[in-house]
Chain A
């Protein structure tokens, strides 16, 4: 099993915690990793090795942060040694994208790791009139609370080399895919390193962030958690 640390960043009302809640709730295996509370959650998913078609278990340790401006200075305590960061903004809040951008800047300047995977995520898609699906544009202006356009965020993400998605924690739309993509991306990045390690020593813990542990068979777990 591979273990990755994922940190959640974003303003306090963008729904970062609810994204993780949705992810964990929709995953079928029981949540026995977290015993204290919802600020730290762990969840395992399966991905496929593109070459061998072998199933790979990926365990995310998800670190939530306090999004209020006042606690911004505490974030480094949380994102150090992270393998991935979910930077969340609210599609219906004007300022939230620029705040997300400042998180991206901070991550890029403060986290030394070149391999840090940053995923820009626009939440609350359920409140937005889904223009692409409906074809029409102006008809339902009343319902559409979107203030951040897809194009704006997308081009920023491309520019910065970030992964990007618009999702809804409320309906679950796109949530699973975000974590699946992060898992695949991290696996792709870490694979050469892992193979080298695997050859040297199998099943030993090390001090590095990424481990290969021999997973003990757990009869309680269903064989797969994600489709």
Chain B
């Protein structure tokens, strides 16, 4: 216990101890005070890496840059400022971080990430939460000191804060998200209590969902007017919810949850007349439908995802609406976890029992098939990694990762399977610098910068196509061009687009 405290203190970025370790305390401080002065840096590896990244970052053209930046900031604000949903621009943040004046911040981040993954193979969930939260607050404090962050307005500063969270969590995902932590360690025994509990709860929830996936709306007292429409919307709501596994950043996961809820409200708003006092549109209708949606969905690792958001989403962001809908997901999970016959309304027990047992038999059969498939796979070597890539196909995170790789001296790889293998082999519980990443180091070149642009464009294109496809399926009677127009107007965000289309369909 005291050992843990010691490490926490040592790790606490606010004490700045990790820098004094390097015996270059003075030079570090100096270079932080004057980011452009890189000559009197200490000889440690940490800073050398930084140098190689920002070789061309001599103090040049600050005045014109400033003006240009001011102009673009204003323009962007006009387009994004008063939107119904704050628009998150990760690319903008990465650009800000590439600014030569951000070098000290980049160094802090790099140092933190390095310490986090090397100092110990695994922190407890409580330690992780504290370390990461403290670090975020520390860096946010530093925003007041360094350009280009120093002169950002409130909206842009918020964007930068989100950016930090996404960056850090993207890199520490395999350490903090229980299903991936398990994969990284290759052994459940090594897991700490918190992560273990997450996984146990995931499994239990999945079992409960499968046990009761056959129930009908009236078992939950859901009174509906349009059963066919409900089916469609519940289906899409579930698909949106399952997307939590496509993203690493707590914010991105949260957006999936909100979109899922939005689809449910879309149904309620437009297909259920409700009583004249409007109660049908509130929680009395929403919460049962959310439970129903989860029971009908294929969502995996929902508990782990919720816990992860709870732990690593900055408290300042997890408020109001976000907080309400996350609590609702938790409430729905709680309900399902304790679900049994007694929690349902059953009109005809014979029918119910029949369906229950049929589902059981079907489930057994499905399990058999899965088992066989697994055995086949195991004989053909890479079952583990193929399963991992299955859940780690993420459009946005690929963008993140490709940006990471260009910046890569900043980021100790831990996102992909290959390097995490190396990490597990190399890292011991004591201090140990990861040499593999140093050899992978790539210099920032213009060509690569172009590459990012192309990759990002492709990813965004894919994302847009996927959104279009989802909406077309959701609104089969609607003109494709109309859907596309709405998508464009709503910046391809599924929530607002669904809402607008529902309005049009009336």
- A interface residues (Cβ-Cβ under 8 A, vs B): 8, 12-13, 15-18, 20-21, 32-40, 42, 61, 63-68, 70-71, 73-74, 77-78, 169-170, 205, 207, 216
Q: Within the complex, which residue of B276, B284, B332 is in contact with A68, where a contact is CB–CB below 8 Å? A: B284
The reply to whether A70 and B281 form a contact with Cβ atoms under 8 Å apart is no
Give complex CA distance A78, B424 in Å: 41
User: Is B309 in contact with chain A by the CB < 8 A criterion?
Assistant: no
The reply to whether B321 and A35 form a contact with Cβ atoms under 8 Å apart is yes
A18 / chain B contacts, CB cutoff of 8 Å: 277-279, 282
Q: Within the complex, which residue of A21, A34, A40, A68 is in contact with B221, where a contact is CB–CB below 8 Å? A: A68
The reply to whether B316 and A71 form a contact with Cβ atoms under 8 Å apart is no
Within 8 A of A (CB), among B240-287: 258, 261-262, 264-265, 268-269, 276-279, 281-284, 286-287
Q: Within the complex, which residue of B269, B331, B338, B496 is in contact with A37, where a contact is CB–CB below 8 Å? A: B269
A17-B283, A66-B288, A68-B288 as given contacts; A37 in contact with B278, CB under 8 Å: no
A37-B268, A39-B283, A39-B286 as given contacts; A70 in contact with B221, CB under 8 Å: yes
A207 / chain B contacts, CB cutoff of 8 Å: 315
Q: Within the complex, which residue of A17, A35, A68, A169 is in contact with B281, where a contact is CB–CB below 8 Å? A: A17
User: Is B330 in contact with chain A by the CB < 8 A criterion?
Assistant: yes
Give complex CA distance A38, B325 in Å: 11
Q: Within the complex, which residue of B154, B281, B316, B338 is in contact with A38, where a contact is CB–CB below 8 Å? A: B281
User: Is B85 in contact with chain A by the CB < 8 A criterion?
Assistant: yes
Q: Within the complex, which residue of A33, A36, A42, A64 is in contact with B283, where a contact is CB–CB below 8 Å? A: A64
A38 / chain B contacts, CB cutoff of 8 Å: 265, 278, 281-282, 286
Give complex CA distance A64, B281 in Å: 11
The reply to whether B324 and A39 form a contact with Cβ atoms under 8 Å apart is yes
User: Is B218 in contact with chain A by the CB < 8 A criterion?
Assistant: no
Cβ-closest 5 pairs across A and B: A17-B282, A37-B265, A64-B283, A18-B277, A66-B287
Q: Within the complex, which residue of A74, A169, A170 is in contact with B287, where a contact is CB–CB below 8 Å? A: A74
The reply to whether B282 and A16 form a contact with Cβ atoms under 8 Å apart is yes
- B306: min CB distance to chain A, Å: 12
Q: Within the complex, which residue of B84, B282, B316, B343 is in contact with A70, where a contact is CB–CB below 8 Å? A: B343
Q: Smallest CB-CB separation from B259: which chain A residue? A: A36
The reply to whether B325 and A36 form a contact with Cβ atoms under 8 Å apart is yes
The reply to whether A67 and B284 form a contact with Cβ atoms under 8 Å apart is yes
- B interface residues (Cβ-Cβ under 8 A, vs A): 84-85, 154, 220-221, 258, 261-262, 264-265, 268-269, 276-279, 281-284, 286-288, 315-316, 319-321, 324-325, 327-328, 330-332, 334-335, 338, 343, 345, 495-496
The reply to whether A40 and B324 form a contact with Cβ atoms under 8 Å apart is yes
User: With contacts defined as CB atoms under 8 Å apart, how many contacts are there between chain A and chain B in the complex?
Assistant: 115
B278 / chain A contacts, CB cutoff of 8 Å: 17-18, 21, 38
B286 / chain A contacts, CB cutoff of 8 Å: 37-39, 64, 66
A170 / chain B contacts, CB cutoff of 8 Å: 276-277
B316 / chain A contacts, CB cutoff of 8 Å: 205
A77 / chain B contacts, CB cutoff of 8 Å: 327-328, 330-331, 334
A13 / chain B contacts, CB cutoff of 8 Å: 279
- B181: min CB distance to chain A, Å: 26
The reply to whether A32 and B281 form a contact with Cβ atoms under 8 Å apart is no
Give complex CA distance A17, B269 in Å: 14
A205 / chain B contacts, CB cutoff of 8 Å: 316
- A33: min CB distance to chain B, Å: 7
Give complex CA distance A34, B268 in Å: 16
A63 / chain B contacts, CB cutoff of 8 Å: 324, 327
- The 25 sampled A-B contact pairs (Cβ below 8 Å) are A12-B279, A16-B279, A17-B282, A21-B278, A35-B495, A37-B265, A37-B268, A37-B269, A37-B286, A39-B287, A39-B324, A40-B321, A40-B325, A61-B319, A61-B320, A66-B284, A68-B284, A68-B288, A70-B343, A71-B288, A71-B335, A74-B331, A77-B334, A169-B277, A170-B276
The reply to whether B282 and A39 form a contact with Cβ atoms under 8 Å apart is yes
A66 / chain B contacts, CB cutoff of 8 Å: 283-284, 286-288
- B138: min CB distance to chain A, Å: 15
The reply to whether A15 and B277 form a contact with Cβ atoms under 8 Å apart is yes
Give complex CA distance A207, B313 in Å: 13
Interface centre among B284, B315, B330 (most CB of A within 10 A): B284
Give complex CA distance A17, B262 in Å: 18
A169 / chain B contacts, CB cutoff of 8 Å: 277
The reply to whether B320 and A40 form a contact with Cβ atoms under 8 Å apart is yes
A42 / chain B contacts, CB cutoff of 8 Å: 320-321
Interface centre among B277, B345, B496 (most CB of A within 10 A): B277
Interface centre among B264, B269, B282, B286 (most CB of A within 10 A): B282
Q: Smallest CB-CB separation from B258: which chain A residue? A: A36
A16 / chain B contacts, CB cutoff of 8 Å: 279, 282
Given A39-B282, A66-B284, output 14 extra A-B contacts at Cβ < 8 Å: A17-B279, A17-B281, A35-B262, A35-B496, A36-B262, A37-B265, A38-B265, A42-B320, A64-B282, A64-B284, A66-B283, A66-B287, A70-B221, A74-B332
Q: Smallest CB-CB separation from A22: which chain B residue? A: B278
Q: Smallest CB-CB separation from B325: which chain A residue? A: A36
A64 / chain B contacts, CB cutoff of 8 Å: 282-284, 286
- B14: min CB distance to chain A, Å: 16
- A178: min CB distance to chain B, Å: 16
Interface centre among B84, B315, B319, B328 (most CB of A within 10 A): B328
A12 / chain B contacts, CB cutoff of 8 Å: 279, 284
A33 / chain B contacts, CB cutoff of 8 Å: 320-321
A17 / chain B contacts, CB cutoff of 8 Å: 277-279, 281-284
- A3: min CB distance to chain B, Å: 8
